[in-house]
A = this chain, B = another copy of it.
Amino acid sequence: MRLPSTWRADLLAGAVVAVLLIPQSLAYAMLAGLPPQVGLYASLLPLLAYAALGSSPVLGLGPVAVLALMIAQALAGLPAGVPAEAGALVLAAEVGLLLGAAALLRLDALSSLLSVPALRGFENGATLMIAASQVPVLLGSAAVGFTLPDLLLSARHGGFVIASAAWGGAAVALLLLSRRAGPRLLARLAPLGLLVAAMALSAFTPTAAGVAQVGALPSLALPLGLPSLDKALWLQLLPPAALIALMAFVSSLAVSESLAQRRGEKLLPAAELRGLAAANVVAALSGGMPVAGSFSRSILLHEAGSRSRWTLVFVAAFMLLAMLLLAVPLAHLPKPVLAATIVVAVLGGFTLRHYGEAWRYARAEGLLMMAVTATVLLWSVGAALALGVVGSIALLIQRTARPHMARIGRVPGTQHYRNVERYAVECQAEVVGLRIDESLVFTNARGLADVALALVREHREKVGVPRRVLMLMAPVNHIDVSGLVALQELHAALAAEGLRLEFSEVKGPVLDRLKAIGWLERHDVSLYLSHHDGIQAGQHDLRPSLADMDAPGQL
């Protein structure tokens, strides 16, 4: 029997990725402060759930490093008596339900909450923090901590174990060597090969005496069941779950979108949201931990030729096989070797150059990026992510807090109207021509009347006494309620000075909304098809009636 070619491609890609996923799933579970089998569980059924409901054929779903760090910090505050595994299940359930709610409310656009500098600053910080947290494991030191200062303080008191450091150092060296020297295939097989070699060496020789080992696993039966329904626990884990959900969605979408572009495929953000939601809910029901799309594994799926989401089904099958084969030998795996795979994997993603680029292009955004990274290292991933979101929005609002408006005049001999500051244009005393340069929304509508009145004053001083103010509305794509209130204030302020407000070139959707509430009639605002018509009209009577504006293609 020959498999169809798509299936063969997917089977091959699945095998390649499983080889990378096995060590990563164990390592990221350890990073999250969870028993290693949790990582394996999270790499089984959740993949099937995403395959059923997601949309990308190349999303390397499963445990990921950044999420593991966030999980570790979230679980650090668990009340005594609650095992970390139980907390991880609740976290996964909350992440899944939050993503599901976002999918229902069609909030896939919320991935835009994280600007590129915030995301990059966060990922770099998390990368450094993950590497730093694994150095003690690598060296056999007992130092622990979720911030650099804590880690350093803790390291002062603990020594290190020479045998551990030897194992860890050798593992790092081998992994780096396989990356640098060999062909790409070698680099990809290296982590699994190293794991198998280390298990064998450790089990059959005395070289691992005194080195921390993974230890005997419980019988690897998939623990199906509901997570704890303790209300206090759910409430406590809700804030970190919200941040993990945001991060899971943003980082998965970033990688699947960029791959979809490269592959000329269409990606449905709503389907991604659905798939991630289902995967996390299933993780919560099958002994896992929160999952997302991994950057390195997704690239690998793409390069290995994955063609459909069946690949993930094959990955899951290989993971099941690995579980059965690895259950016993895993007990002998030295922890420093796992730590080495983490350190080498994440440090490849660290890029210093982004800071300089952002700083040179926009100082404030560069500063935000550094601040987010510093917050990861010195405080917590949660605080850093919150800073990234709030900081990005603050910068945006700071820049657009006032509407951008220009006084415009006619370019001589044309029907074009341009900024009087930049062009030699003609203005008529009787009418002030203004242009609003952006949509009128709550972030920039404040003080619309102020800005407009200042321009009217300028017109009065430089050109003459006006009777009308004609606003070119072509650049306005949307007016929200705050923008509408600002327009109302502008209308009142102009009326107080005896000036009429008029609009030209209002876009169709904007006009529809204004008409729906009868705003134009109520405020007796005239409309003109083109700014030139409005300037020329001069008299109230010449304006076209509202009914005329309905013809399609005119606005």
Q: Is the CB of A516 within 8 A of B481?
A: no
Q: Is the CB of B396 within 8 A of A441?
A: yes
Q: Residue A543 at the B interface, CB < 8 A?
A: no
Q: Residue A533 at the B interface, CB < 8 A?
A: no
A442, B115: Cα distance in complex, Å: 5
Segment touching B, from A161-169, A197-205, A443-451? A443-451
Q: Residue A357 at the B interface, CB < 8 A?
A: yes
A497, B444: Cα distance in complex, Å: 38
The 8 Å CB contact of A396, one of B106, B443, B446, B496, is: B443
Q: Is the CB of A477 within 8 A of B438?
A: yes
Given the known interface contacts A394-B107, A399-B478, A480-B396, the answer about A516 and B361 at a Cβ–Cβ threshold of 8 Å is: yes
Q: Residue A153 at the B interface, CB < 8 A?
A: no
Q: Is the CB of B477 within 8 A of A397?
A: no
A392, B116: Cα distance in complex, Å: 21
- Encoded as 1 (CB less than 8 Å from any B CB) or 0, chain A from 492 to 533 comes to 010010000000000010000100110000000000000000
Q: Kindly list chain B residues whose C-beta atoms are within 8 Å of the C-beta of A399.
A: 478
Q: Is the CB of A481 within 8 A of B109?
A: no
Q: Is the CB of A357 within 8 A of B517?
A: yes
Q: Kindly list chain B residues whose C-beta atoms are within 8 Å of the C-beta of A516.
A: 360-361
Q: Residue A111 at the B interface, CB < 8 A?
A: yes
**A514 CB to closest chain B CB, in angstroms?**
9
Q: Residue A85 at the B interface, CB < 8 A?
A: no
Given the known interface contacts A261-B449, A482-B117, the answer about A477 and B437 at a Cβ–Cβ threshold of 8 Å is: yes
The residue of chain B having its C-beta at the shortest distance from the C-beta of A483 within the complex is B116
Q: Residue A271 at the B interface, CB < 8 A?
A: no
Q: Residue A555 at the B interface, CB < 8 A?
A: yes
**A529 CB to closest chain B CB, in angstroms?**
12
How many interface residues does A have (CB within 8 Å)?
A: 69
Q: Is the CB of B398 within 8 A of A109?
A: yes
Q: Is the CB of B480 within 8 A of A113?
A: no
Q: Is the CB of B261 within 8 A of A450?
A: yes
Q: Is the CB of A484 within 8 A of B107?
A: no
A358, B513: Cα distance in complex, Å: 11
The 8 Å CB contact of A517, one of B114, B360, B477, is: B360
Q: Residue A218 at the B interface, CB < 8 A?
A: no
The residue of chain B having its C-beta at the shortest distance from the C-beta of A260 within the complex is B450
A450, B109: Cα distance in complex, Å: 15
Q: Kindly list chain B residues whose C-beta atoms are within 8 Å of the C-beta of A151.
A: none
A267, B402: Cα distance in complex, Å: 14
Most buried by B among A108, A110, A362: A362
- 21 CB contacts below 8 A, A to B, read A107-B394, A114-B442, A115-B480, A117-B481, A261-B449, A261-B450, A266-B450, A267-B450, A360-B516, A362-B480, A365-B481, A393-B393, A396-B443, A400-B439, A400-B478, A404-B477, A422-B552, A424-B553, A437-B475, A437-B477, A438-B477
Residues of A within 8 A of B (CB): 106-117, 257-258, 261-262, 266-267, 357-358, 360-362, 365, 392-402, 404, 422-424, 437-439, 441-444, 446-447, 449-450, 453, 475, 477-478, 480-482, 484-485, 489, 493, 496, 508, 513, 516-517, 552-553, 555
Given A113-B393, A365-B481, A400-B478, 19 additional A-B pairs, CB 8 A:
A107-B398, A110-B397, A110-B398, A112-B444, A113-B397, A115-B481, A116-B442, A117-B481, A258-B489, A261-B449, A266-B450, A357-B481, A358-B481, A360-B516, A422-B508, A422-B553, A437-B475, A438-B439, A475-B475
